[in-house]
Amino acid sequence: MVKKTRKILLLPGDGIGPEVIAEVKKILEWMNKTKSLDFVLSQELIGGASIDANKVPITDEVFYKSLESDAVILGACGGPKWDNLEFSKKPERALLKLRKELKLFANLRPAICFKQLVDSSTLKPEIVSGLDIMIVRELTGGIYFGEPRGIEPMENNQRKGINTHTYTTSEIQRIARVAFDLAKKRRNKVTSCEKSNVMEAGVLWREEVQILKDKEFKKVDLNHMLADNCAMQLLRNPKQFDVILADNLFGDMLSDEAAMLTGSLGLLPSASLGIKDKNGRVRSLYEPVHGSAPDIEGKNIANPIATILSLSMALRYSLDLEQEADLIDKAVEQVLDNGLRTKDIISPNKKEVSTSVMGDAIINELSKNLH
């Protein structure tokens, strides 16, 4: 078999980022050794780690390197150490810059409840068992990036905080198209969320999604839901959803909520995909939905599964390695079947293991499946 070189950039970042990315690196190195693959791995600083070393959350060099990679896998950015920095210098800016400048407008966040972990959810088993939702979050628009923004002085020692929320027809329709296309491969249902009862941008969102559906996706079942109602419905009856479509801010919140339905934020991967460039390549960034979790940093107890499943998404969506992605997903299920759990998903009669032992166990299952 001819080896195909694939450039993968690892950006561990802050907090538990380096610990969970280390497990992904082990798997990639294992794949390089045992399969006819040829990943060229490199690793760079981002977020607070980059601020400490280079005074900026991401250097130009790392930024350009991410442009040239076939897939970028990121751990997490941010932590209390950098909380008091001026807004534009915070670790999170690196992530937002990558999303914006790589034009990664589509963020896919699958919330799947593994049958082995039904008891780890704070919800009743019958509510979450078999849960399989895909949240499609718009990632480069809305209030995260709108201008004007800032904090302005006012009279009488008052200050004004300003952010702007805007969406255009094309921004709405290109993310809605992603949601409809995904729904066609799943259970054919899209629930689009906004606050059209209080926001003009929400009215436009609802109208443009409907226009696109009527024009190009007649057979997909579409319903519109106010975002606050969606938050409630996710707890009441989450299995009513297939694909949830939301803007940047509502998508951020609803995906954290959906993550907890599955038992732990430590289980949820994500893929951020851009438009096709002139060589037909879709830029991409893969990261766990959880953050840097500074409270458990350096303890070797973080759950690496969300990041390992993000690697699986990278193999599937960016690296043309569907089979390898399936192997990883299966190995994750097997370690759960074997009763291994990190601290966040521990339950009675299960074996608590560290971050690195969980990674090793997944590699062990991968090796078994290969023979």
Interface residues with ligand IPM (CB under 6 A) are 78, 92, 95, 252, 289, 291
167 part of the active site: no
Tell me if 7 sits within 8 A of 72, measured CB to CB.
no
> Which residues sit opposite 8 in a β-bridge?
41, 71
Cα radius of gyration rounded to whole Å, the chain: 21
Selection from 179, 172, 214 nearest residue 194 by Cα: 172
228 part of the active site: yes
Binding partner of 291, given ligand IPM, Mg ion, none, CB within 5-8 angstroms per partner class: ligand IPM
Q: Which of 144, 167, 286, 317 is catalytic?
A: 144
Please identify which residue in the block is written with the tokens 């759960």: 336
Residue 252 found at the interface with Mg ion (CB under 5 A):
yes
Residue 365 found at the interface with Mg ion (CB under 5 A):
no
Residue 344 found at the interface with Mg ion (CB under 5 A):
no
> Which residues sit opposite 191 in a β-bridge?
223, 244
252 vs 365 by CB, closer to Mg ion: 252
Please identify which residue in the block is written with the tokens 């994500």: 270
Which residues from 205-234 bind Mg ion, rule CB under 5 A? none
CB 249, min distance to ligand IPM, A: 8
Binding partner of 92, given ligand IPM, Mg ion, none, CB within 5-8 angstroms per partner class: ligand IPM
52 part of the active site: no
Closest-CB residue for Mg ion? Answer: 252
Selection from 362, 342, 336 nearest residue 118 by Cα: 336
Report the alpha-carbon distance of residue 300 to residue 295 in Å, rounded: 12
Tell me if 325 sits within 8 A of 312, measured CB to CB.
yes
70 vs 252 by CB, closer to ligand IPM: 252
CB 359, min distance to Mg ion, A: 24
242 part of the active site: no
137 vs 195 by CB, closer to Mg ion: 137
108 vs 289 by CB, closer to ligand IPM: 289
- In the three-class reduction of DSSP (H, G, I as helix; E, B as strand; rest coil), residue 199 is classed as coil
With both helix axes pointing from N to C terminus, report the angle between 169-184 and 200-216 in degrees, rounded to the nearest 10. 50
CB 126, min distance to ligand IPM, A: 28
CB 12, min distance to ligand IPM, A: 15
CB 133, min distance to Mg ion, A: 16
Report the alpha-carbon distance of residue 75 to residue 28 in Å, rounded: 15
90 part of the active site: no
Report the alpha-carbon distance of residue 134 to residue 181 in Å, rounded: 12
Task: Give the interface with Mg ion as residue ranges (CB under 5 A).
Answer: 252
Residues annotated as catalytic are: 144, 195, 228, 252, 256
